[in-house]
Chains A and B, each alone.
Chain A
Amino acid sequence: MSGRVLVGVKRVIDYAVKIRVKPDNSGVVTDGVKHSMNPFCEIAVEEAVKLKEKKLIKEVVAVSCGPQQAQETIRTALAMGADRGIHVQVTGKDYETLGPLQVSKILAALAKKEDAQLIILGKQAIDDDCNQTGQMTAALLDWPQGTFASEVSMEGDKLKVVREIDGGLEMIKINTPAVVSADLRLNTPRYATLPNIMKAKKKKIANVNPADLGVDLTSRVEILRVDEPPQRQAGVKVETVDDLVGKLKDTGRI
């Protein structure tokens, strides 16, 4: 086993920013808006670095797809403890339509190229909330998957994953190589300390073209329109339960 872990990190609009829709309703405003690493990706990086500290894996490789600024996100991963980075260059129109299908094809190609033993991703990105990349990547590679992980442990060449599901917690054992997607309670990501930020300067980031990986970036999805959520209307107060039932019937709710 190569002992190599691939961690996908996505650059998204910072969670604290107030999102505005573009005047032409084609998307949201991203120019001049603060971006940072997707919070679930931070958790994924932290888990990978923890596995390396426990000496269960040998190398953590951070991967990001996007324009030049994606390198900032990779550098943050390096400052948290990843060993090297891969920047898959996707720009312009391709970047606007980049989605889970294309990213999972890229990750699958890289996993084969880098002989990865494990892929850890955030369960979803806070901009599109797709929650698809982990699952698609596993399917493309025909690897087992442990999604919504709240606990991960390695036992030989098997992975024990505790998953957060609707009914509670599910424990599964899967073979490696495998794909894991990180949920909120998996860990608390460490801060990038100043000495580690300095060390990260010397770590390498390789530039890769999707075409070199044989990946077709054409999107099967066309965004027709983006709108703000409708303004919340004021509620109506009723006096009795009968009134409530009557109103619900009137509006066709029951």
Chain B
Amino acid sequence: MKFSGVLGFCEICRVCILQKKSYLLPSLRESVRKFCAEQLAPHADEIDKKNEFPEMRDFWKAMGEMGLLGITAPVEFGGTGMGYLEHVIVMEEISRVSAAIALSYGAHSNLCVNQMVRHGNEEQKEKYLPKLMTGEHVGALAMSEPNAGSDVVSMKLKAVKEGNYYVLNGNKFWITNGPDADVLIVYAKTDPDAHQRGITAFIIEKGMPGFSTAQKLDKLGMRGSNTCELIFEDCKVPAKNILGPLNKGVYVMMSGLDLERLVLASGPIGIMQAVLDFAIPYLHVREAFGQKIGHFQLMQGKMADMYTRLSSCRQYLYNVARACDKGHFSAKDCAGVILYCAENATQVALDGIQCLGGNGYINDYPMGRFLRDAKLYEIGAGTSEVRRLIIGRAFNSILILK
């Protein structure tokens, strides 16, 4: 069954995002939608079934030509010099077609590229950004370890200074784009005794001696967004590859996490839109008891619930993105946005399966994939639990200050 993506887009959202940039955002969305519908959609199911995307490199270059890989990067390095709202809309449209590839895209364009834009020195930006923009290189970011996920600050990857180099020893785990990345931003402990004040960010290149990747992880969802373990065995990294200040990596990491949560929150939005794109037409084709099932009250209720969840999440996300573009950054809201969007996406995906009934349970239909992909967003980029801590603690600290 094939359904086009013309339904379900909230008119209120269309109106709300039309401000001064009145024609830009709809044009941008339409262009990316068309690109993904033609270049990515035909492969989406296969990517999930086989847990691989053989055409990934070509697709990355095609995205490079479209100008999608450096939305927030400056024009002089090949970026598009736009803002977070534009980045969110682009990732939403990619996620609508393939949440897995959108996640890889997000890891490249936000986790890697945006961090480099914000913290790289001129030499590093000139060396690494251009190829990341054209899609010739794939980017990644690594902070989590086999024994340090939520407690990422307790990471054990060590970086010991030796002359003009740092020697890295340890592992990273659950790294998106790990198997494919040419450039990776890696966080390591340069001063283990100083705990969070001893973390430094490094730029690692594929092929550096002592750096290797282990086998691709076999995941529940986001299949096709290649994930693996990174292994550092006396990996020599030039000292000039330090990103940002020495031992101040935790600041680079935490502020990056806020923006990572903001942009990745568009992933669940895209998934919810895909669920509606598919489920709503289905409800008006499938018949039972002599009529289209979409006309039964319980199904009308389901459509209403899915639609309002999507619309409210979308409004929250777009407004926080717009605030960030205006320079108002809030850790509380960035965490809040992805917390809310992710949990709603799982619920909407479950509703979507329910709408299709038995057909929702068969893998010939994409509803199962939507659910499996949606669940990741409650875990990656800080679990829902961590996000709740951040928001709760933010209130604690306001009231202590009185």
Query: Which residues of A come within 8 Å of B, CB atoms?
Result: 14, 16-17, 32, 34, 36, 71-72, 75-76, 79, 191-198, 200-201
Contacts and interface: CB of A to CB of B under 8 A. Distances in A.
Contacts of B80: 194-195, 198
- The 9 tightest CB contacts between A and B, nearest first, are A16-B4, A194-B67, A34-B6, A192-B31, A195-B67, A193-B67, A194-B80, A193-B66, A191-B35
B289 interface: no
Contacts of A191: 31, 34-35, 66
Interface in B7-24: 11, 23-24
Interface of B: 4-6, 11, 23-24, 26-28, 30-31, 34-35, 65-68, 71, 75, 80-82, 86, 90
Contact of A14 (B6, B11, B27, B81): B6
Contacts of B28: 194, 197
Contacts of B35: 191
Contacts of B82: 194, 198
Contacts of B5: 16
Contact of B31 (A14, A32, A72, A197): A197
A16 B75 CA distance: 35
B65 A193 contact: yes
29 contacts: A16-B4, A17-B4, A17-B6, A32-B11, A34-B6, A36-B30, A71-B23, A72-B23, A75-B27, A76-B27, A76-B30, A191-B34, A191-B66, A192-B27, A192-B31, A193-B65, A193-B66, A194-B67, A194-B68, A195-B67, A196-B67, A197-B24, A197-B27, A198-B24, A198-B81, A198-B82, A200-B27, A201-B23, A201-B24
A196 B68 CA distance: 12
Nearest to B26: A72
A38 B82 CA distance: 29
Contacts of A195: 67, 75, 80
A155 B31 CA distance: 34
A75 B90 CA distance: 19
Contacts of A16: 4-6
B3 to A, nearest CB: 9
Given A71-B23, A194-B68, A195-B80, 16 more contacts: A16-B5, A17-B4, A72-B23, A72-B26, A75-B23, A191-B31, A191-B34, A192-B31, A193-B66, A193-B67, A194-B28, A194-B31, A194-B82, A194-B90, A196-B67, A198-B81
B380 to A, nearest CB: 26
A72 B67 CA distance: 21
A127 to B, nearest CB: 15
A193 B66 CA distance: 4
Contacts of B81: 198
Nearest to A192: B31
Given A193-B65, A194-B66, A79 B26 contact: no
Contact of B27 (A17, A32, A34, A72): A72
Q: Which of A79, A197, A200 has the most CB of B within 10 A?
A: A197
Contacts of A197: 24, 27-28, 31
Given A72-B23, A76-B27, A194 B71 contact: yes
A191 B6 CA distance: 19
A229 B124 CA distance: 63
B12 to A, nearest CB: 12
Nearest to A198: B80
Contacts of B67: 193-196
A85 to B, nearest CB: 12
Contacts of B4: 16-17
A76 to B, nearest CB: 7
Nearest to B86: A194
A71 B27 CA distance: 11
Contacts of B30: 36, 76
Contacts of A71: 23
Contacts of A194: 28, 31, 66-68, 71, 80, 82, 86, 90
A17 B3 CA distance: 10
A75 B75 CA distance: 22
Contacts of A198: 24, 80-82
A79 B31 contact: yes
Contacts of A76: 27, 30
A80 to B, nearest CB: 10
Nearest to B66: A193
A4 to B, nearest CB: 25
Q: Which of B4, B68, B81 has the most CB of A within 10 A?
A: B4
A195 to B, nearest CB: 5
Contacts of A196: 67
A73 to B, nearest CB: 11
Contacts of A201: 23-24
Nearest to B2: A16
A102 to B, nearest CB: 26
A62 to B, nearest CB: 14
Contacts of B31: 79, 191-194, 197
A76 B27 CA distance: 7
A192 B6 CA distance: 19
Contacts of A200: 27
Contact of A79 (B11, B27, B90): B27
Q: Which of A71, A76, A194 has the most CB of B within 10 A?
A: A194
A75 B28 CA distance: 11
A14 B37 CA distance: 14
Contacts of B71: 194
Nearest to B38: A191
Nearest to A200: B27
Contacts of A32: 11
